[in-house]
């Protein structure tokens, strides 16, 4: 056993071991009503550059994942028996890409991660984590870098403050620092080689399952969380899904899709088209649902990549060629925090939602409206 553990400690990525006896024994108890056992997998793994919030790094970890088996339908017609069953999401992971330098926000990002800059009093990355949790995602991977230790600290527990607030009976403050109900892991991108390269650092942790990828520059406020909106389209199509917005004006700084006539599928994608050459005004924003096949193409593209940063466009185009990409127009209010102007607008939007801040904003406009061109002298 000692030799096995020693071997596992030097495994670069996790591996899967079928364990039927124990899992089926557990499944029998939960599936007795239906009379169907639930096959599962037990994952054993260790990765040197992975940290899990609240856990001790460097230790072998075990996690079980039970997968419901879709019911088999026998119609007597071979063509129907071979038809793919509806897609059912079991345990989708969420990935937050947060390794970049944030140079548009210098000098503050010299020491503070851009993802920690607050909208009101809440860090922008917390909006993404909440979106994931509200969508049913409980396994979140943050792609970070050595300069962003504050992200790990933010998602960890703050024992000293917890004890202080408990002694004071300040449940309201305790709630503000309560950890997210999710397992949050961190993977560092050692070199800034682009977002495509960043995604390659976590592909071995996905267990051959689809995932949601989020860029914190885009925050969407709405009734249905954005990640859940993409998951709904995936459940219907089984395809990769891009989140989009309709931009009636200039789209030359966006990635623009060429939507198919069915209003769901994507038949082309153009990155930053020249004015007048855009295939549509449906532009992609920073939220994606990727299937396992996407990551295979991502690896292949990297093999042929030369110098410079590597992005996801090669893999995305390959999936589009195979008819395996759909899109979902965002239902909600999008806040673009990727540059100072949009970040400031997000602050104003937040102030409008908070009564105490809204009154401050109203007073400021009343006093300075003429200077802003909003009121007559």
Cβ–Cβ < 8 Å for 16, 207 = yes
> Measured between alpha carbons, how far is 342 from 346 in angstroms, rounded to an integer?
6
Distance, CA of 195 to CA of 185 (rounded, Å): 18
Q: Torsion-angle region of residue 34: left (phi > 0), alpha (psi -120 to 50) or beta?
A: alpha
Closest CA to 375 of 359, 362, 360, 358: 362
Q: Over its length of 377 residues, how does the chain's per-residue pLDDT go in tens digits?
A: 444 443 443 333 333 333 333 333 443 444 433 333 333 333 333 333 444 444 433 333 333 333 333 333 333 333 323 334 455 555 799 999 999 899 999 999 999 999 999 999 999 999 999 999 999 999 999 999 998 999 999 999 999 999 999 999 999 999 999 999 999 999 999 888 888 899 999 999 998 899 999 999 999 999 999 999 999 999 999 999 999 999 998 998 899 999 999 999 999 999 899 988 999 999 999 999 999 999 999 988 888 887 888 888 889 999 999 999 999 999 999 999 999 999 999 999 999 999 989 999 999 888 888 888 776 65
User: Is 139 in contact with 91 (CB distance < 8 Å)?
Assistant: yes
Q: What are phi and psi of 139, to 5 degrees?
A: -125, 105
Cα(300)–Cα(115) distance, rounded to whole angstroms?
A: 30
In DSSP terms, which residues pair with 42 in a beta bridge? 17, 64
Q: What share of the chain is helix, strand, coil (3-state, %, to 5)?
A: 35, 20, 40
Q: Tokens for 130, please give them.
A: 């909440």
Residue closest to 16 by CA, chosen among 65, 56, 57: 65
């Amino acid at each position: 056993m000692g030799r096995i553990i020693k071997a596992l400690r030097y495994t670069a990525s996790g591996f899967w071991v079928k364990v039927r006896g124990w899992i089926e024994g557990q499944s029998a108890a939960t599936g007795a009503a239906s009379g169907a056992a639930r096959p599962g997998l037990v994952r054993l793994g260790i990765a040197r550059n992975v940290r899990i919030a609240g856990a001790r790094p460097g230790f072998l970890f075990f996690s079980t994942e039970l997968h419901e088996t879709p019911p088999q339908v026998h119609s007597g017609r071979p063509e129907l028996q071979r038809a793919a069953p509806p897609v059912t999401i079991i345990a989708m992971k969420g990935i937050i890409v947060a390794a970049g330098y944030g140079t548009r926000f210098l000098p503050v990002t010299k020491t503070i991660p851009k993802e920690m800059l607050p909208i009101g009093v809440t860090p922008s990355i917390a909006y993404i984590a909440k979106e994931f949790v509200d969508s049913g995602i409980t396994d979140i991977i943050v792609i970070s870098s050595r300069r962003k230790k504050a992200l790990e600290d933010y998602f960890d527990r703050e024992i000293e403050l917890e004890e202080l607030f408990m002694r004071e009976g300040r449940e309201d403050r305790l709630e503000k620092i309560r950890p997210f109900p999710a397992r949050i892991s961190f993977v560092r991108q050692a070199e800034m080689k682009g977002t495509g390269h960043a995604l390659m650092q976590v592909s071995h942790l996905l267990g051959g399952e689809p995932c949601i990828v989020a860029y914190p520059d885009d925050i969407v406020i709405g009734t249905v969380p954005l990640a859940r909106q993409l998951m709904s389209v995936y459940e219907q199509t089984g395809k990769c899904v891009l989140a989009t917005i309709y931009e009636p004006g200039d789209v030359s700084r966006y990635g623009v899709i060429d939507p198919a006539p069915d209003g769901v599928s994507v038949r082309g994608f153009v990155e930053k088209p020249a004015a007048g050459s855009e295939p549509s005004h449906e532009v992609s924003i920073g939220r994606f649902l990727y299937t396992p096949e996407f990551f295979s193409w991502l690896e292949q593209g990297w093999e042929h990549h030369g110098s410079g940063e590597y992005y996801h466009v090669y893999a995305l185009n390959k999936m589009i060629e195979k008819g395996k990409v759909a899109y979902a127009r965002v239902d909600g209010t999008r806040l673009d925090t990727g540059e100072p102007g949009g970040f400031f607008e997000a602050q104003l939007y937040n102030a409008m939602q908070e009564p105490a801040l809204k009154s401050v904003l109203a007073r400021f406009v009343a006093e300075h409206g003429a200077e802003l061109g909003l009121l007559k002298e």
